[in-house]
């Protein structure tokens, strides 16, 4: 049985896209089909739609999704990703974006949904974050190097970070990865700086 949800950061308090996701967004081509997992109010869905992508924005909070109703290139789905069983129905995506969300049973389905040359952009909290607040439940915190283990043998890491960071509004311990499918032309272009 999974632990009850422990929200990372309230949707309303996070208005701007993650700098990590923005930095590597260029790896996702215009016209790509992007899945934004646990999207909240759609800060990353909007980012990729503005770049010419077609986004499927999924969240269990229908009220949060409502703000995306009239956004071009964004289709929303109110869906509980933790209800059990397959949630993506065999769909494939050119890119998958996950920020501030972890449900380990969903990880294999996300990897299976990624196109052979697709891009995974993932950033969430990691062990040690309990010293700074929520989430503190280990069910919602990545273990050191866990995202590298998740992609091992399936995707190729382009960039990886883990550790403590300090921002004006909070301190946190995070883990971040950008990885590409093995069919992706190598090497992928890296962003400047």
Mapped onto helix, strand or coil, the DSSP state of residue 103 is: coil
* Residue 103 confidence (pLDDT): 96
pLDDT in tens, 24-55: 999 999 999 999 999 999 999 999 999 999 99
* CA–CA dist 162, 178 (Å, integer): 12
Give yes or no for a contact between 57 and 68, defined as CB atoms under 8 angstroms apart.
yes
Strands 54-59 and 74-78: parallel
Q: Tell me the whole-structure pTM to 2 decimals.
A: 0.91
Which architecture does CATH list for 15-181?
A: 3-Layer(aba) Sandwich (3.40)
- Structure letter (DSSP) for residue 130: G
Give residue limits of the domains in the chain: 15-181
pLDDT in tens, 112-167: 999 999 999 999 999 999 999 999 999 999 999 999 999 999 999 999 999 998 88
Return the beta strands (E) in 38-154 as ranges: 54-59, 74-78, 93-99, 114-125
Q: Which of 126, 108, 177, 120 is nearest to 147 (CA)?
A: 177
Say whether the peptide bond before residue 135 is cis (omega within 30 degrees of 0). Answer: yes
């Amino acid at each position: 049985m999974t632990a009850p949800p422990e929200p990372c950061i309230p949707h309303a308090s996070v208005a701007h896209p993650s700098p990590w996701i923005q930095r590597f967004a260029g790896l996702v081509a215009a016209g790509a089909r992007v899945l934004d997992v646990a999207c909240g109010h759609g800060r990353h869905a909007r980012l990729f739609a503005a770049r010419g992508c077609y986004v499927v924005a999924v969240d269990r909070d229908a009220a949060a999704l409502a703000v995306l109703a009239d956004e071009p290139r964004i289709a929303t789905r109110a869906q509980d990703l933790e209800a059990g069983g397959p949630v993506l129905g065999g769909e494939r995506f050119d890119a998958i974006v996950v920020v501030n969300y972890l449900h380990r049973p969903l990880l294999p389905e996300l990897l299976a949904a990624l196109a052979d040359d697709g891009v995974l952009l993932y950033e969430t909290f990691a062990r040690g974050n309990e010293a700074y607040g929520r989430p503190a439940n280990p069910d919602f915190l990545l273990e050191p190097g866990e995202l590298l283990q998740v992609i091992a043998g399936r995707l190729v890491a382009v960039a990886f970070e883990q550790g403590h960071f300090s921002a004006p509004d909070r301190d946190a311990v995070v883990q971040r990865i950008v990885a590409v499918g093995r069919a992706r032309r190598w090497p992928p272009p890296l962003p400047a700086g």
